Every structure is written in C-alpha cells, then in structure tokens.
Amino acid sequence: MNRHLLLVIFIQLLLAGSAVAQRGQYIQPYSMFQYTNCPNYNDYRSDSKLVFEPTYHFAHGFYYIFNSTDNFGFQTGLKLSKEGQKYSAELEYDVNTGDSTPFSFSSQYSLTQLEVPFMLRFSSSLEDENVILSISPGLQIDMLVGADMKTDPAPFIQPGNEIDLMNLFKRTNLKFITEASFSFVLTEKILINAGLQWSRSLFDIENKDFKFDKTKHVAEYYFPVSTKKETRPDISVRYKTTSMAVGLMLGISYWFNQP
C-alpha cells in the first residue's frame, strides 16, 4: 500500500513540475564509470570457497531522446560497454596437471557488448527551472562482440585446443534497466547531464549448450569461466549466471528539434 502511495505522489510531482522547455528531440553523448559483476549461486556455495570481486570499466555511448510533452518521453541509443567477474581462491589440487600441491590463483573474464536500451522517460523541472530530474525505466538488448579471460597462474593450453570464449556466452541477452539523472540547463539548447544507471540481465548469460571435451579443454574454460578447478564441474545442474552493472554517467544534451 505504501509503495502504491509513493508511486502516485511521484507521478503527481512529475505532472506538477514547472515546464522548462523540455519538449522535443535531444542527442546526448555520454561516458560512464561502471561497477559490474556476474553472480551465480553455484559459485557462492562452491567447495573451493571462491572469493568474488567486482570489475570496473568505462563505457561510452549516446542517447536519442524524444519528449512528447514536458514530462513524458522515450529514449533509446547505443552504448559500448564491458562487464565481467573476478575470482580468487586457495586450491589443493589442479585438475589440469594432477598436482596436489596447494596453490592460490586469481582470475577475471570480461565481456564486451553493444547495448541498445528502450526506455520511458518521466521528467520534472525543479524549483529554479534550470535543473530537470528524469527517471527512465525500460529494457535493454545486449549484443556480445568480444570476450577475454586472464588467469594467474596462466593455464597451459596445447595449440589447437583453444576455445573462442565468445562461444561460452550467449550472443544476445535482455536486461531490465533504470536510470535517474539530473539535467542542468546551460543554454536554450544545451544541458549537462549527470546520473546513476542500474541494469541486470533477465536470463542466463552463459551458453550451457557448448560441448566441452575434457581430453582437450582445460578446466579454466568450464563454468565459471577463467577459474582454476579441483574437478571439472557438471554444467547440466548449474544455476543461471546473471550480469549486473551500476554506472555513474556524465553527458551533454543538445536540443535540436522542438515540435
């Protein structure tokens, strides 16, 4: 009940906002500093006691924004982004070499993606009419364009036994995305934008249909990708892996068309 009341109050505030010249079309290039990780419940309960760390990346993109009124609109665009996961652990056995000498490792994999959001945009100018608050929820399509992994110590991979890491992850995925931002009016047509963005995948990002060959493929290729392992895990019972990103955004908007 309280959540519904807060939603009604928020919509009323948007509708009551002073009308700075927001209606029209905008182009907004931006850069973003992102905190990302790709959690999986299986990894958290792993016998190897994996330690998880987030990864940090810069992303760059642009929005096309169409405001049909001073308070409501739509935005889409394109972003080049990276997401990934770091691991570390202490192991007593290396399944690749059969060595039972205890050792420690650290590793990371990174996914490079093109991301296309489709978001509603709810805006309200604040008291001085030179600052605009916008809330933008929606869905985002992610398209995988690159993947890499780093492992210390590095695995010894026989020539010809490499795997294209992109084959271990789905080429496309869908995310829920939401963004809160402030736009500061500089001139009649130019605004500075600062905001916070959060996104999370709705489906498994791993391609569990990939067929591993334990006679050729090192354990680091098995899920979770890049980690050393004491055994080769059974991926048929593995939970889904989701990707999550939180980003601080800074951009500039140019108002190029007023209806």
- The string of pLDDT tens digits covering residues 143-168 is 999 999 999 999 888 888 899 999 99
36 phi and psi angles, rounded to 5 deg: -135, 150
User: Model pTM?
Assistant: 0.85
Who's near 4: CB < 8 A, 6+ residues apart? none
Write the single-letter amino acid at 72: F
Closest CA to 204 of 246, 239, 165, 163: 239
Structural domains present in the chain: 2-257 (2.40.160.20)
Q: Confidence class of residue 19 from pLDDT cuts 50, 70 and 90?
A: very low
List, as one string, the DSSP characters of 45-91: T-TT--EEE-EEEEEEEEEEEEESSSSEEEEEEEEEEEEEEEEEEEE
When mean pLDDT is compared over 108-122, 148-162, 212-226, the highest value belongs to 108-122
Place of tokens 């049909």: 68
Q: What is the pLDDT of residues 173-201, one digit of tens each?
A: 999 999 999 999 998 899 999 999 999 99
Closest CA to 142 of 164, 169, 108, 181: 169
Q: What is the pLDDT of residues 23-38, one digit of tens each?
A: 899 999 999 999 999 9
pLDDT of 2 reads 55
Region of 98 on the Ramachandran plot (φ > 0 left; ψ -120 to 50 alpha; else beta): left
- Average pLDDT of every residue of the chain: 89
13 phi and psi angles, rounded to 5 deg: -65, -40
d(CA 250, CA 134): 14
